[in-house]
Amino acid sequence: MVDTAMWNDSTDILAAVSDSKLTVWYCPAAAFIDKDLINYTRTQTDAAHFGKGCAFINFFDTRLSVRKADGAVQSASIAAAPAFLHRYCLTGQWTKAVRLCRWASQQTVAGGAGAGNNVSIISAAAAAASGGGSAGGLALTTNTGKDEVLWSTLAVLSISGQQLDTAELALSALDEIDKVHFIQYIKTVPSVEGRNAELLLYRRRIEDAESVLLQSKLIYRAISLNLRVFRWSRALDLATQHKTHIDTVMYYRGRYLSGAGGAAETDKRFLTFAADVKVDAKVIAEKEAQELEKEAARGTPYKPVLDTKIDTKITESNPSSSFGVANSPLNRDSKEDVPSPITRGISTTSKTPAKKEGKDAPPPRPAVKKGTRIDIAND
């Protein structure tokens, strides 16, 4: 039973108290993109001290405020790195996102848990993502374990953002070999419509994937998609509707039955077409090659997408958020000098006054020879 739940104010992070445990989902979108990764993105800690009947008051940045049944207010903190990761992915800074995950996999900040340690984690992550190694003289020790929370979150967000190279790195870090192979296959699809359909298929949205292909006039790829997921009747429907590749469907149906121990055909439609359609493996291979060439002629092969430049200034609705992207310490390599929340409103740069011209211009300084003694009288 869930006692209370709340979303983070600035990122897609969900927290809940259930069965005396504080559960945090750092990427709930995994439920709609890849259900296999949802458990990787979840952490659980003991919350028995909150008692029964507790309720969240607010969830700002990494801090949770909880009101207990007796009215007392307590606080709890969550990891800071996933929030930075969300910000990077949201603003298209995929290189920094990968750097942050790699740092978390190899390094751990020495010291106990607590509010002060969160600051250390943020600082260390800032230096790592900016390519600066350890930050602020922090002692770093080697950690052979992988931070599955960060890698799984990056995998989900990169798949959602169609960043296939980043998704491949994240899934390989999680040892999801079958998913890595599928991502590599998607990168070989020669059309952007075909890649979009394959990504929908990855999300188990077969009908949507087929719809994308049919709208793009990629009939053969739509038939092939249904064959790969063993939707034989639907593949035959598409082939007969568009009057193409009926022999291809019959060929792969025969191979499937042969691989299933030589099972006999029982579908009446396939039995009818088996008597009328001639199946030639060589002709089918040639037709498939022609279809791939026709698709490649669209001129939309896969190209790695570089980091995008997005305006990351803090909105007026939340000017004091310490997770504002513009104020993130991980953006220190930016050319724009943005003050931190602590120093906001305090001028940190000296401005050179404009030179006066004309009558208001000061008189020129007299030339002084080297070695000349100058006496300055005290007023």
In DSSP notation, 210-241 reads HHHHHHTT-HHHHHHHHHHTT-HHHHHHHHHH
pLDDT score of 138 more than 60: no
- The tens digit of pLDDT for each residue in 201-236 reads 999 999 999 999 999 999 999 999 999 999 999 999
% of the chain with per-residue pLDDT over 90? 57
Mean pLDDT computed over 191-201: 95
Residue 252 has pLDDT above 70, yes or no: yes
Return the higher-pLDDT residue of 200 and 341: 200
Q: What is the Cα–Cα distance from 136 to 371, expressed in whole angstroms?
A: 46
Could you tell me if 109 and 140 are in contact, meaning their C-beta atoms sit under 8 angstroms apart? yes
Q: Report in angstroms the alpha-carbon separations of 198 from 279, 317, 362.
A: 28, 39, 72
pLDDT band at 87 (very low <50, low <70, confident <90, very high): very high
Cα angle vertex 80, ends 77, 85, to 5°?
145
Helix (H, G, I), strand (E, B) or coil at 2: strand
Give the pLDDT score at 35: 93
Segment 103-112 mean pLDDT: 60
- 158-172, 190-204, 232-246, 311-325: the lowest-pLDDT one: 311-325
In this model, does residue 242 exceed pLDDT 80?
yes
Q: What is the pLDDT at residue 261?
A: 82
Q: pLDDT-derived band of residue 200, with 50, 70 and 90 as boundaries?
A: very high
Q: Residue 89 and residue 157: Cα distance in Å, rounded?
A: 7
**At 105, is the pLDDT very low, low, confident or very high (cuts 50, 70, 90)?**
confident
Residue 25 backbone phi and psi in degrees, to 5: -100, 110
Query: Is the per-residue pLDDT at 327 higher than 50?
Result: no
Q: Which helix (H) or strand (E) segment is 25 a member of? A: strand 21-25
* End-to-end Cα, the chain, rounded Å: 81
* More confident of the two residues 267 and 310: 267
Q: Do residues 225 and 209 lie in contact, with contact meaning Cβ atoms separated by under 8 Å?
A: yes
d(CA 376, CA 353): 26
Nearest to 130 by CA among 163, 173, 97: 97
Q: What secondary structure does DSSP assign to 175-212, as a single string? A: T-HHHHHHHHHHHH-SSHHHHHHHHHHHTT-HHHHHHH
Q: In what order do the strands lie in the sheet with 73-77?
A: 55-60, 63-67, 73-77
Q: In this model, does residue 248 exceed pLDDT 50? A: yes
pTM here is: 0.71
The pLDDT, as a whole number, for residue 198 is: 96
Q: Is the pLDDT of residue 315 over 60?
A: no
Q: What is the pLDDT of residue 354?
A: 56
The residues, ordered by sequence, that sit 6+ positions from 207 with a Cβ below 8 Å of its Cβ are none
What is the rounded (10 degree) CA torsion for 70, 13, 114, 338? -120
Predicted confidence band at 82 (pLDDT cuts at 50, 70, 90)? Answer: very high
Residue 29 pLDDT exceeds 90 = yes
